Amino acid sequence: MNAAVEFGPHDLSGRRYLVTGASTGLGFFTAKNLVSRGAEVVITGRSAARLEAAASATERPDLVTALPFDIAELRQVQEAAATLLGRDQRERSAFDGVVLNAGVVHPPAEREETSDGIERLFATNVLGHFALLSDLTVGAALREGAAIVWLGSIAPGLTRAHLQDVQLRGGYTSWNAYAQSKLATQVLAIEGDRRARAAGEHVRSLVAHPGYSTGGLTPTVPGVHEPSLGKRALDSLLAFAAQGKDAGALCQLRAVTDPGLEGGETIVPAYLTRGRPVLGSSHWRSYDPELGERLWNYCASLAGTAPDFSAMSART
């Protein structure tokens, strides 16, 4: 059986999902799989043109809504959330799942800040999603049992990332910025699970990481993903330990659709860097409740808001 349909309902008609950073890569293939099962999907990204191309490349573009904004900019996040909540009067407008996929994979060599004065990688990979989730939970835009999927990585296990200097003001390297941001998403996901359980388990918070997913091993999708011949040749040398982004997206897909997941789980490739999605674990620091509470409160102080799972009520 195709790995994409081994888990979760094959028919997602009537269900609605939000996938950030879905104009290409993991986000696109996650959205494409959801749409292929009949789900309505809102996709986000910075470029309206690229989002429209991505929507057109799905099997059912009529099921896709594009919402362009920059997840790193808090004002834009707030405006996007207001747009989503403004549509909340329509039937079936609440989300059955949110995939917090948007992120910077190749960080800048030098430290940069957003207009809010936040280190850009942290703002993109972590804080923007925290702020967006805050508005969605306070606005009760998630259905009962909805899955919130945070994008993790194996990167934290390859570094000494510890989140003592979250914005790396004391010393910046692109690798540490990326690894710390990925550790932070996992810490927030597990802390989110603790808080969701304490609030009555109305939603589920999970982690998914795609292993080593590369563009050169990914199928060509005109207008969305068109790697050069050189990129394909180079990445083919890594095929023994890597996979395409279409395969890496299956971890996110399972996390957001598998009804057997209760929250707090981490979905990983079976062979660490590649393979079918299976239950695994996040970096060991992700389970530290003191670190989770500290990072949650720090993000709340920067965003001026925090996810409120107690605001969730049953949705039909």
Residue 204 sits at φ, ψ, to 5 deg, of -120, 135
297: which residues sit within 8 A by CB, 6+ positions away?
306
Tokens of 264: 């707090």
Q: How far is CA 292 from the centre of its chain?
A: 18
Closest CA to 154 of 273, 27, 30: 273
d(CA 122, CA 168): 9
Q: How far is CA 41 from CA 12, 119, 125, 205, 266, in A?
A: 11, 30, 21, 19, 23
Amino acid identity at 96: D
Residue 25 sits at φ, ψ, to 5 deg, of 60, -145
| Helix, strand, coil percentages, rounded to 5, for the chain | 40, 15, 40
d(CA 201, CA 57): 36
Q: How far is CA 34 from the centre of its chain?
A: 14
User: Known catalytic residue: 172?
Assistant: no
Cβ atoms of residues 149 and 98 within 8 Å: yes
Could you give the 3-state DSSP secondary structure of residue 65? strand
- Residues 178, 212, 287, 298: which is the catalytic one? 178
Residues forming the active site: 178
